[in-house]
Chains A and B, each alone.
Chain A
């Protein structure tokens, strides 16, 4: 079936270090999946960080990047130098499914950035 697997947290890194949160997907019933990263900052609602709808393309936002790799079915989230304000829960997501409305979310990765 369709699924998303991402790095299990919590992930703890120090400020200015590099970060990668892995995300792999299975899209057996979705011909042309769109890939998303959502983020929930402390005290805020879940919001879109970036999305990529074309294989081979890269999305970027707030210093984060993710490349849609169809060959490895991956959409890893990377940042070269994290800040304390990046502490949040990050969700990788895949959509739409065959009925064009459902999105499949990963379990979320809790990121702690130490000052």
Chain B
């Protein structure tokens, strides 16, 4: 088995601030993902990475940067937080073989004041 950890659990920021979310996995999975979850909108893919140092844009990449410097970690940066923004960011990983099961972290809840 393995586990995905996300830090921080809660993130409160100010409008215009740059905010970084971190994700670690010990599955030894090749592929990692960042999703944004808004109420009533399901999961939307922000970025994914199929291997160390790879980055691929998802459907919602504008306003975000990502970094995959190690196989086990994948970070996401909100480049300029939007006022009154509230969402949950989920990190996931998979082995990448023919779209294997994705394993999710507990999420980071973002609130921008």
Contact = CB atoms under 8 A, between A and B. Distances in A.
A47 B48 contact: no
B98 to A, nearest CB: 7
Given A91-B42, A101-B50, A107-B40, 12 more contacts: A45-B4, A45-B107, A47-B104, A48-B101, A48-B103, A100-B98, A100-B99, A101-B31, A101-B99, A102-B48, A105-B35, A108-B42
Size bracket, chain A contacts = 20 to 34
Contacts of A95: 99
Contacts of A80: none
A5 B22 CA distance: 31
A51 interface: yes
A101 B106 contact: no
B58 interface: yes
B55 to A, nearest CB: 12
Interface residues of B, number: 24
Interface of B: 4, 31, 35, 40-43, 45, 48, 50, 56, 58, 90, 92, 96, 98-99, 101-107
Contacts of A96: 98-99
Contacts of A48: 101-103
Contacts of A99: 56
Nearest to B96: A101
Contacts of B48: 101-102
Nearest to A100: B99
Contacts of B50: 101
B42 A107 contact: yes
A46 B42 CA distance: 12
Contacts of B42: 91, 105-108
A34 interface: yes
Contact of A45 (B45, B56, B58, B104): B104
